[in-house]
Chains A and B, each alone.
Chain A
């Protein structure tokens, strides 16, 4: 049993995109704020702060997670993946990111980080999704720019590209 006092800061350690990180947080500090303000990982955006808009969605221990509905102290020892972990290198975009760009699937980009995390997580488990499945997944995100259609197109585009690239790898 661990009991953390409200008015004190406590050490929080976890793995962020494969690298160990640590910082200090009061129990009430949201994970979204910890990522952005303590670790400087500002790729995760904060919209509604009550779990509705989906902008802050990340992956914690393999689970899609609203980081605004999690406390930093809750994820001590966990493995986290955020939008910063999607690109293969600093100067290259991943397949999914390229597909969003190609299909004009973002305008202001505020919702994009969360949508990328949901799609990345979903496509890894469901490599051949239907449009209906993508629409169902995207119901957990709010985008006020695109009308969703280009995002759905990008997701299906990325799924097709990932499927063909994995075929090539298996032939080699």
Chain B
């Protein structure tokens, strides 16, 4: 289990990264914390010709409050964001979900944006991005563009990022006094989620987002439902996610979890 051969570029600026991506496109991969990509390399599921290390670029290491959003740079590690003093107040959902990402020993290195780039369907940060309706900030040598969360995830480990684009950061909206809830079921704490759910009270009712079931984290907005109407909505949603059987859990168990956890979390945020 050793990585294939690649050139290694230690970028000192965003310009270095963009140039490397422009030259090598799909043969280049951006290396941030390495907690997903290095495992993919060791297992030879990825075979890039060039790795571009972005972790020595200071401007990508920032967490910034910009108006009613928080912008998190590509070099911000999961542990950095967990230690950010404003996290619980500005991004309470992220504060709930982040301790479920991997283990302390991987959060110390792994980045927020790296987890989004990897786009594992059961990962917590993609789920939080979709639940919050955040945006991914992409950039190549010619232009910058912003992609909303639901358009960013294109499939299992597939995103809307073009080969020559760097995820420069993400922007997450700050919702004042947001009522949020998060729960996850996994074999062990730190394992990938069998089902992870996030709920948030929104002006028109409630939003439930689910990871670990469909190919991409999926959110659904509902008016304030109660009783059997809520049960029906949850049941329909659970089926629409298209759960499949795998070695970790059956499709039926996953649907059960969506219905049960969904109901609990909606109750929590609407209380």
Q: Which of B94-108 contact A (CB under 8 A)?
A: 102-106, 108
A140 and B105 in contact (CB under 8 A), knowing A2-B9, A69-B35? yes
Stretch of A13-21, A26-34, A152-160 at the chain-chain interface: A26-34
Contact partner of B10 (CB less than 8 A), chosen from A1, A63, A65, is A1
Indicate if the CB atoms of B103 and A140 lie closer than 8 Å: yes
Residue of B nearest to A8 (CB): B7
Rounded to whole angstroms, the CA-CA distance of A136 and B99 in the bound complex is: 10
Asked if B12 is at the interface (CB within 8 A of a chain A CB), the reply is yes
Spot the interface stretch: B38-46, B58-66, B240-248.
B38-46
Interface size on A, residues (CB 8 A): 34
Known contacts: A63-B79, A69-B35. The answer to whether A6 contacts B7 by CB under 8 A is yes
Q: Is B176 an interface residue (CB 8 A)?
A: no
Interface size range of chain B in the complex = 35 or more
* Majority DSSP secondary structure for residues of A touching B: mixed
The yes or no answer to B239 lying at the interface (CB within 8 A) is: no
B53 within 8 A of A: yes
Tell me the bound Cα distance from A63 to B104 in angstroms.
10
Asked if A24 is at the interface (CB within 8 A of a chain B CB), the reply is no
Q: Which of B6, B12, B103 contacts A6 (CB 8 A)?
A: B6
B220-252 with Cβ < 8 A to chain A: none
Contacts A2-B10, A6-B6 given: A50-B108 contact, CB under 8 Å? no
**Minimal beta-carbon separation of A99 from chain B (angstroms):** 20
Binding site for A on B (CB under 8 A): 1-13, 16, 31, 34-35, 38-39, 41-43, 49, 51, 53, 55, 77, 79, 102-106, 108-109, 188-190
Residues of A at the B interface (CB closer than 8 Å) are 1-7, 26-28, 30, 33, 49-51, 54, 57, 63-66, 68-71, 73-74, 118, 122, 136-137, 139-141
